[in-house]
């Protein structure tokens, strides 16, 4: 069953100031928030990603190890595919041909589903990594993935291509959300427990340089994130129940209040920066946001 919950948000807080608890605060942006499913996902609800047709894909629909789809103009999710035995998906991305890539954290792999099929293939695998968590794709045919170790609160940064999944940086904080800038020249990686986002320069073959802290927060965790077409970064703030919007030079612009408190990831329909979709772990549903 599908249902909707709409409300408008408007709070006159100041951008970039500090409250009496000495924590960073930001203006809350006016937004329409619409719940587009009931609680039909597990607490592993993640993904989400949209293909060029506007179909929305989210992992762990009804049970772990599945991917659900809300087809454009449909009123309810349905099962798109059951993953291979023992596989559980997390982040999803689509390339320019609408092929799907899925971070499979239980089998230490990136999965691949060719456009027009439901055939789940192992794109690359490395049993030595912790657990591929979220991923991002470069137009030149390679990608990057986060690789957290939740128990030790550490993590790695991974680079992948067909048949190759490699650790390119070890000893980081708990790597989680990951995203490339629209031009592919910057990589952003956040660390959940350390509450910071790193920025790297990216060359045409996937080498990284000029690592620096883009922004650090005082409280609440960081999870999945995406760039809009202008290059602003939208990061889900796990436990706070907001999306923090950050400029590409590290300025906190504003925040968007959600219905749930534990957002896990976010996606934009292709070509827009005024509408996006957020998965909520505590509510086990998806919220559609219109600015």
- 3-class SS at 241? coil
Question: Which residues lie closer than 8 Å to 18 by C-beta, 6 or more apart?
Answer: 24, 25
Give the Cβ contact number of residue 5 at 10 Å. 11
pLDDT at 31: 87
pLDDT at 258: 97
Q: What span, in angstroms and rounded, lies between the C-alpha atoms of 14 and 212?
A: 26
Q: What span, in angstroms and rounded, lies between the C-alpha atoms of 264 and 278?
A: 7
Which domains occur in the chain, in start order? 6-290 (2.120.10.30)
pLDDT at 217: 97
Below-50 pLDDT ranges, the chain: 1-24
Give the Cβ contact number of residue 14 at 10 Å. 10
Answer whether 198's CB lies under 8 Å from 180's CB. Answer: no
**32-35/41-50 β-pairing:** unpaired
Tens of pLDDT, residue by residue over 232-256, are 999 999 999 999 999 999 999 999 9
If you count them, how many residues does the chain have? 291
Cα–Cα distance list, 55 to 33, 51, 110 (Å): 19, 6, 21
CA angle 144, 200, 240 (to 5 degrees): 80
pLDDT at 187: 98
Record the pTM: 0.91
Cα–Cα distance list, 7 to 59, 179, 290 (Å): 26, 29, 11
């Amino acid at each position: 069953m599908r249902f909707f919950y709409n409300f408008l948000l408007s709070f006159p807080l100041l951008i970039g100031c500090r409250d009496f608890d000495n924590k960073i605060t930001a203006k809350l942006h006016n937004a329409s928030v619409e719940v587009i499913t009931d609680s039909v996902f597990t607490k592993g609800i993640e993904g989400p990603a949209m293909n060029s047709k506007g179909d929305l894909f989210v992992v762990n629909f009804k049970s772990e190890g599945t991917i659900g789809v809300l087809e454009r103009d449909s009123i309810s999710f349905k099962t798109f595919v059951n993953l291979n035995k023992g596989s559980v998906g997390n982040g999803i991305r689509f390339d320019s041909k609408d092929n799907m890539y899925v971070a499979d954290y239980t089998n230490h792999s990136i999965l691949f589903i060719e456009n027009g099929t439901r055939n789940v293939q192992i794109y690359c695998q490395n049993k030595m990594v912790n657990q591929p968590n979220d991923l991002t794709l470069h137009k030149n045919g390679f990608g990057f993935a986060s690789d957290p170790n939740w128990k030790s609160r550490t993590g790695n940064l991974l680079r992948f291509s067909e048949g190759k999944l490699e650790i390119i940086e070890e000893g980081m904080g708990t790597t989680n959300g990951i995203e490339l800038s629209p031009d592919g020249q910057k990589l952003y990686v956040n660390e959940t427990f350390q509450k910071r986002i790193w920025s790297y320069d990216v060359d045409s073959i996937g080498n990284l340089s000029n690592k620096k802290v883009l922004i650090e927060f005082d409280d609440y965790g960081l999870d999945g994130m995406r760039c809009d077409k202008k290059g602003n970064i939208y990061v889900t703030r796990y436990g706070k129940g907001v999306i923090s919007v950050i400029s590409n030079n590290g300025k906190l612009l504003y925040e968007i209040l959600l219905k749930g408190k534990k957002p896990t990831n976010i996606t934009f329909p292709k070509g827009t920066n005024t509408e996006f979709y957020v998965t909520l772990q505590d509510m086990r549903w998806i919220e559609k946001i219109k600015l």
